[in-house]
Amino acid sequence: MSGKVIAVVQQKGGSGKTTLAVNIAVEAVRRGLKVALLDTDPQGSLGRWFMARRERLGEAGLDFSTSSAWGVSYECEKLKRDVDLVIVDTPPKVDADLRPALREADLVLVPVASSHVDLWATDGVLDLAAREQKRAWLVLNRTRANTRLSEEVAQAATQLTAGVTEARLANRVAYAETLGLGLGAVEAGPKAARAEVRALADEVMELLDA
């Protein structure tokens, strides 16, 4: 059976795309899935994480490729023959270059930090996803428990043309720290972070199977 593709997209830089891609990938591997990461962002953060992981562990435990935006379709088709899950990290922009990743995606995830500015930045992404007849799911990131801003953003997100995952990633230093070590939060983060990632992975797997 051909593998499935998750595209992680957001036009605003610093939204947590790489954090989301890495943590879902690591948890999927821990669940016995064969995973490939595809980095189409020229910034190369995903590649740096992968190299740090290889240096630390000796074996990354998952595949990694890079591609131009227009090479996504070819790379995804190639990778899907050998793995269960391909996760595509895309550049922080919204233009025609994003369309190949959206076309290949079985699931579109849009990380949104807890600010109205980040939420407003989803408009272009959601419009492109709609044109490709793909439903996007917002993942609230860097949330702060029991704060009015986080709840305002969460409530406003429900009014958009996208789903909103129940699982959220809180504003934890552990996500940045583990990323810098070439690890996922489920491998070296505190119990709360591990629980958040597992809950998000549960939801993502359900959406992929829907």
Mean of pLDDT over the chain: 90
Q: What is the pTM of this model?
A: 0.92
Distance (Å, rounded) from C-alpha 15 to C-alpha 97? 19
Name the CATH superfamily, with its identifier, for domain 4-209.
P-loop containing nucleotide triphosphate hydrolases (3.40.50.300)
**Distance in angstroms (rounded) separating the CA atoms of residues 106 and 27:** 18
HEC profile of the chain: CCCEEEEECCCCCCCCHHHHHHHHHHHHHHCCCCEEEEECCCCCHHHHHHHHHHHHHCCCCCEEEECCHHHHHHHHHHHHCCCCEEEEECCCCCCHHHHHHHHHCCEEEEEEECCHHHHHCHHHHHHHHHHCCCCEEEEEEEECCCCHHHHHHHHHHCCCCCEECCCCEECCHHHHHHHHCCCCHHHHCCHHHHHHHHHHHHHHHHHHHC
What does the pLDDT average to over 64-92?
93
For the chain, the structural domain boundaries read: 4-209
Chain segment 113-170, per-residue pLDDT in tens = 877 777 787 888 888 888 899 989 999 888 887 667 667 777 776 777 788 899 999 9
